[in-house]
Structure 1
Amino acid sequence: MTFALAAPAAEPRARFRDLTAAEWIKIRSLRSMPLAYGTTALAVLAFNLGGAYDTYTYWNARSAADRAQFVGDGIPLQHAFNPNAALVMMLALGAIGAFAIVSEYSTGTIRTTFAAVPARGAVLAAKAAVLGALTTVFGLLLAAASFFGTQAILGARGAGVGLDHPGALRILLASALLAPVSALTGFALGALVRQTATTMIATVTVLLFLPIALTDGRYWSALLGHSLPYQAWLRLVEPHYVAPQFGWTEAGAWTVFAVWALVSAAVAVVCVRRRDQ
């Protein structure tokens, strides 16, 4: 009499929520992450609150006409999140996003991950989802702290504004969403390049050098510049936008934010499917 051996049961396919939970645990376990986010927050707040405090300190040195026009000219909103703070946040979040994927390639742990979950695209999609959600929350908290902190300082001189002031909510949201856009950009570059130093150079080039090199003086230069996250942020946070020769719309700037975030996540997912470990 012969007995047939039962075939081993196939392991259930990993669900996307399981993958995101695993990525969240992985990020939480990295000791460098709290330090990186904390340092970034302190640097950004130092630029924003420091600028507001400088205005507070030298308020009486302004002429009566300047003080009277301070709110009307939109200066409080410019203090809410200044360009220096935005650049620091972009570079820091871009590096954090790149590190989220490059660190696994440099240590070789990505092989273990793909051995456990062969669906590479799903793994990268989960990484992008967790990174995007985490940096969005971080950006919202940092933008809110900057806005309310700067306006409280200016409010001591009667020059602060509230969130209901025209343009205030737009500036807060644009500054907050700059964080996930920058992080996902670094993440996509990390998935493409996979080398730490080269990825960081590419991230700095895309997020910082290109927006500075491209100007609004020529049509094609302006068009390319308007397609970059930093110039989109500048368009959104301008209190009283006066269109130059090659001006563009607020809706166009929001579109740039959305396209960069979505395309960056898609690039990371597609390239990991088409390349070896």
Structure 2
Amino acid sequence: MTPTSTQPTAASTAVRAADPGARFRDLLASEWIKLWSLRSSSLAFGAGALVVTAINGSAAVADYNNWPTYSEGIRSLFVPIWSMRDAFTIGACMVLILATGSIGALTIVGEYSTGQIRQTFAAVPARRSVVAAKFAVVTAVMLVYGTVVAGTSFSVTQAILSGRGIGLSLGYPGVLRAVAASALLAPVCALVGMGFGALIRHTATTLVTFTGILLLLPFLLSDRHRWSSGILHALPRSAWERLVQMGDPFGSAPYPATISGSWIVYAAWPLAAAVIAMAAVRRRDL
């Protein structure tokens, strides 16, 4: 009995030893397939890019048409301040934040809502590796997406404004910073959405929380008081506004945001989201 009972155990041990487990590149491939397997992902990416470009293009067309009626005072300030505002409007920024944040959140929340996360973690018990693969894939995709959207928006709007001689080129001081900030806003917000999704694990609650903090909270804060300005400047949308602004629009504010501080905000939010997601999937049950 003893030799017979030990043979299956030895065989199973040999099989487990021969199985190298999932490699990280396999996890990356899996997450890539998951992201693009849903038609809603492609639709969300496409619709978000079209809406953002349309909003910014509409602003440029409006200024192009109204240019003959503008006073000399407005014309003197138009380049570069208003030229850049047409390229990256607040409305388009909010659409980009909502679209990318929602996609990022659904990459995690979607698996929890369908129960697929159990199968994923059963196949790959190393939960943090799975989350790291999700973050890596979403970061890469959103970086490309943000670059395409920001570059297209800038090119379209400045081509329109160039018809009046008020367009900007990439070589103009501060333009590359603004384009880079707009491009990086996509991965920043997507990773923040993933962090909320890993922590909350409920689709509606995650999206409401994300929208409330990243989109609505800035409207409730003012830069006229130290405590509220500190919170305001620590939000991604406010950091984006500072990075894309040309000239010195915050010179009259008692507690203005800084460019270096805004870049730190860009780095801190996705880093915090990654830490929260790693801790949440490791410590909490499915």
The TM-score normalised by the length of structure 2 is 0.92
1:15 aligns with one of 8, 14, 23 = 23
Instruction: Report deviation, 1:68.
Output: 4.8
1:220-231 superposed matches below 5 A: 220-231=227-238
Provide the C-alpha distance between the structure 2 equivalents of 1:77 and 1:200, rounded to a whole number of angstroms: 30
Larger radius of gyration: 2
1:66-215 superposed matches below 5 A: 66-71=74-79, 73-215=80-222
Give CA deviations for 1:133-172 in whole Å, capped at 9, x if unaligned: 1111100000000001100000111111100001110110
Provide the C-alpha distance between the structure 1 equivalents of 2:221 and 2:143, rounded to a whole number of angstroms: 27
Gaps of 5+ in 2: none
Instruction: Report deviation, 1:65.
Output: 5.1
Q: Which residue does 1:35 correspond to in 2?
A: 43
Q: Which residue does 1:256 correspond to in 2?
A: 265
- The range that moved more, 23-32 or 240-249, is 240-249
Letter in 2 for 1:245: P
Structure 2 SS opposite 1:74 = helix
| Residue 273 in structure 1 maps to residue 282 in structure 2 | yes
1:218 aligns with one of 222, 225, 246 = 225
Structure 1 SS opposite 2:91 = helix
Instruction: Report deviation, 1:58.
Output: 1.6
Give CA deviations for 1:35-69 in whole Å, capped at 9, x if unaligned: 01111111101110010011111221223554354
Q: Which residue does 2:62 correspond to in 1?
A: 54
Provide the C-alpha distance between the structure 1 equivalents of 2:69 and 2:218, rounded to a whole number of angstroms: 34
Gaps of 5+ in 1: none
Instruction: Report deviation, 1:74.
Output: 2.1
- The range that moved more, 129-138 or 7-16, is 7-16
Which stretches of structure 1, 4 residues or more, deviate above 4 A after TM superposition? none
Question: Aligned residue pairs: how many?
Answer: 275
Higher helix share: 2
Instruction: Report deviation, 1:271.
Output: 0.8
Q: How much identity, in percent, do the aligned residues show? A: 49
Name the Cα RMSD after superposition.
Answer: 1.5
